[in-house]
């Protein structure tokens, strides 16, 4: 179940494992912005805090440093109405299941924008095509599957399976692969019902396992780089937690798999102090869990470590949704794991 706006704020406030006095005050402000009663807040807070022990990540953000920015962006909700209407219209283009609509409507209603979403989704008002959205609406964009711009169309193009091995495969009845506007070098493979391969001569490390949805780490790291680039396009920092004046180099990012662990690293330009390559690791075993920063790591670097882990988790949460939408299926991705170097998901009908 997707989080409500208040649960999203809770996740940001608790993202470092503790709630500070400042974080508690910001949650008070969020409750006021959302016009939540004390009872409604208590119900949502109890539900969310109960999920912490299960290791579930309940936010679409990647650090408590952006909580205040998110609160500030909610100061003028009326200015968000046109964007929400466009998002409702765009959701129909990528496929709007009953569950997706219910989750999105719940989140939008929490912000007082449910009417705007309905007007766009059911074409009750005339609106332009979606090209972008304010950062405040990122959680809603993820729920609707609008992680990347969808207004651009791409001519259908296929690649022979003789020229490229499989790097993504959806093995479920009814799945069909199509050209991806958000990753144009990953092309549908001729002779396969629903599979994609790289149009650049990249070789497989091992054959894909026979599971519902499988993809290689090269696809995941390409997606992570695009997420960072999208943030830069909106004028945002690629990672929260970076001190002012430092430069992130998403093209340098790399990803390695060791057993059920995924480690991401990326070069950061420190200016006069040169280049460094911080890293972070998550464990994938039915769920996704960030490995805490080493105790020997300097406090000034812990935030960067945690932001990298958050970025990787965000990629693992959103990429499979994009691939399932591209396959034309109305299913949920569950039970994530790693099988012989491949990231795999089970797919189940939407409840």
Per-residue tokens: 216:
């290689």
Backbone angles phi, psi at 186, to 5 degrees: -95, 105
Q: Decide which of 41, 73, 105 is a domain's last residue.
A: 73
Question: pTM of this prediction?
Answer: 0.59
322, 175: one domain: yes
Distance from C-alpha of 269 to C-alpha of 247, rounded to nearest angstrom: 5
Instruction: Please give the average per-residue pLDDT across 108-131, as a whole number.
Output: 82
Q: Let me know if residue 157 belongs to a domain.
A: no
Residue 1's pLDDT is 57
User: Do the beta carbons of residue 13 and residue 67 sit within 8 Å?
Assistant: yes
Residue 11's pLDDT is 76
Instruction: Please give the average per-residue pLDDT across 272-287, as a whole number.
Output: 86
285, 343: one domain: yes
User: Do the beta carbons of residue 278 and residue 308 sit within 8 Å?
Assistant: yes
pLDDT tens digits for 68-97?
777 877 888 888 899 888 888 888 776 677
Number of structural domains (the chain) is 3
Q: Decide which of 73, 97, 112 is a domain's last residue.
A: 73
pLDDT grade, residue 17 (50/70/90)? low
User: Do the beta carbons of residue 117 and residue 105 sit within 8 Å?
Assistant: yes
314, 175: one domain: yes
120, 66: one domain: no
33, 128: one domain: no
Q: Let me know if residue 253 belongs to a domain.
A: yes
User: Do the beta carbons of residue 139 and residue 3 sit within 8 Å?
Assistant: yes
Residue 290's pLDDT is 92
User: Do the beta carbons of residue 198 and residue 185 sit within 8 Å?
Assistant: yes
15, 27: one domain: yes
Q: Let me know if residue 153 belongs to a domain.
A: no
Mention every residue, 6+ apart, whose C-beta is less than 8 A from residue 43: none
Neighbour tally for 211: CB within 10 Å: 18
Q: Let me know if residue 293 belongs to a domain.
A: yes
Q: Let me know if residue 212 belongs to a domain.
A: yes
Calculate what percentage of the chain has a pLDDT beyond 70: 79
285, 242: one domain: yes
Choice among 33-42, 47-56, 128-137 with the minimum mean pLDDT: 47-56
Residue 245's pLDDT is 66
User: Do the beta carbons of residue 240 and residue 68 sit within 8 Å?
Assistant: no
pLDDT grade, residue 60 (50/70/90)? very low
351, 210: one domain: yes
Question: Higher-confidence residue: 163 or 7?
Answer: 7
Neighbour tally for 218: CB within 10 Å: 18
Residue 260's pLDDT is 92
Residue 255's pLDDT is 92
pLDDT tens digits for 138-181?
788 878 877 654 444 344 566 766 667 899 999 999 999 988 87
Q: Let me know if residue 197 belongs to a domain.
A: no
Q: Decide which of 30, 51, 73 is a domain's last residue.
A: 73
97, 124: one domain: yes
Range of the domain at 105: 77-144
Residue 166's pLDDT is 92
Residue 151's pLDDT is 40
Instruction: Please give the average per-residue pLDDT across 215-237, as a whole number.
Output: 81
100, 210: one domain: no
Q: Let me know if residue 269 belongs to a domain.
A: yes
Per-residue tokens: 137:
């609406």
Distance from C-alpha of 67 to C-alpha of 260, rounded to nearest angstrom: 31
Choice among 129-138, 192-201, 227-236, 288-297 with the minimum mean pLDDT: 227-236
């Amino acid at each position: 179940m997707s989080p409500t706006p208040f649960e999203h704020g809770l996740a940001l406030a608790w993202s470092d494992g503790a709630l500070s006095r400042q974080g508690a005050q910001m949650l008070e402000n969020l409750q006021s912005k959302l016009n939540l009663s004390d009872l409604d807040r208590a119900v949502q807070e109890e539900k969310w805090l109960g999920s912490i022990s299960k290791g579930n990540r309940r936010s679409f953000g990647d650090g408590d440093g952006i909580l205040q920015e998110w609160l500030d962006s909610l100061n003028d909700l009326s200015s968000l109405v046109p964007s929400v209407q466009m998002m409702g219209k765009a959701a129909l283009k990528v496929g709007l299941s009953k569950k997706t609509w219910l989750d999105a409507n719940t989140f939008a209603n929490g912000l007082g924008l449910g009417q705007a979403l309905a007007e766009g989704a059911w074409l009750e008002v005339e609106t332009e095509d979606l090209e972008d959205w304010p950062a405040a609406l990122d959680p809603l964009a993820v729920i609707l599957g609008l992680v990347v711009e969808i207004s651009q169309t791409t001519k259908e193009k296929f690649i022979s399976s003789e020229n490229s091995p499989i790097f993504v495969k959806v093995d479920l009845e009814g799945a069909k692969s199509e050209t991806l506007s958000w990753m144009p070098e990953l092309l549908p493979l001729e002779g396969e019902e629903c599979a994609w391969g790289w149009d650049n001569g990249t070789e497989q490390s091992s054959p894909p396992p026979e599971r519902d949805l499988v993809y290689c780490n090269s696809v995941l790291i390409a997606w992570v780089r695009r997420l960072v680039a999208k943030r830069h396009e909106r004028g945002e920092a690629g990672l929260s937690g970076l001190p002012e004046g430092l430069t992130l180099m998403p093209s340098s990012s790399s990803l390695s798999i060791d057993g059920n662990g995924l480690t991401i690293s990326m070069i950061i330009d420190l200016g006069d102090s040169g280049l460094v390559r911080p890293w972070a690791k998550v464990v994938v075993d039915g769920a996704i869990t960030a490995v805490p920063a080493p105790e020997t790591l300097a406090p000034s670097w812990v935030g960067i470590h945690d932001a990298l882990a958050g970025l990787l988790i965000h990629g693992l949460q959103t990429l499979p949704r994009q691939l399932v939408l591209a396959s034309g299926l109305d299913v949920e991705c569950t039970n994530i794991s790693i099988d012989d170097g491949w990231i795999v998901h089970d797919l189940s009908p939407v409840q």
